[in-house]
Chains A and B, each alone.
Chain A
Amino acid sequence: QSALTQPASVSGSPGQSITISCAGTSSDVGGSNSVSWYQQHPDKAPKLIIYEVLSRPSGVSNRFSGSKSGNTASLTISGLQAEDEADYYCSSYVSGTTYVVFGGGTKMTVL
Chain B
Amino acid sequence: QVQLQESGPGLVKPSETLSLTCVVSGGSIRSYYWTWIRQPPGKALEWIGYMHYTGNTNFNPSLKSRVTISVDTSKSRFSLELSSVTAADTAVYYCAAYFDFWNGSLGYWGQGTLVTVSA
- Asked if B44 contacts A92 (CB within 8 A), the reply is no
A65 in the interface (beta carbon within 8 A): no
- Convert A83-103 into 0s and 1s, putting 1 for each residue whose CB lies closer than 8 angstroms to a CB of B: 000000101110001111111
Interface residues in B81-112 by Cβ distance below 8 A to A read: 94, 99-107, 109-112
Give complex CA distance A46, B96 in Å: 10
- Convert A19-36 into 0s and 1s, putting 1 for each residue whose CB lies closer than 8 angstroms to a CB of B: 000000000000001101
Task: Provide the residues of chain A in CB contact with B60, threshold 8 Å.
Answer: 99
Contact residues on A (Cβ < 8 Å of other chain), bracket: 20 to 34
Give complex CA distance A34, B112 in Å: 24
- Asked if B44 contacts A98 (CB within 8 A), the reply is no
- Asked if B99 contacts A100 (CB within 8 A), the reply is no
- Asked if B44 contacts A51 (CB within 8 A), the reply is no
> What are 16 of the A-B contact pairs (CB < 8 Å)?
A1-B61, A3-B44, A33-B103, A44-B111, A45-B112, A51-B100, A91-B104, A97-B58, A98-B104, A99-B47, A99-B58, A99-B60, A99-B61, A100-B47, A102-B47, A105-B44
Extra pairs beyond A36-B106, A46-B109, A48-B105 (17, CB < 8 Å): A3-B44, A33-B103, A34-B104, A34-B105, A46-B106, A48-B107, A51-B104, A52-B103, A57-B107, A91-B106, A97-B58, A98-B104, A99-B58, A99-B61, A100-B35, A100-B104, A104-B44
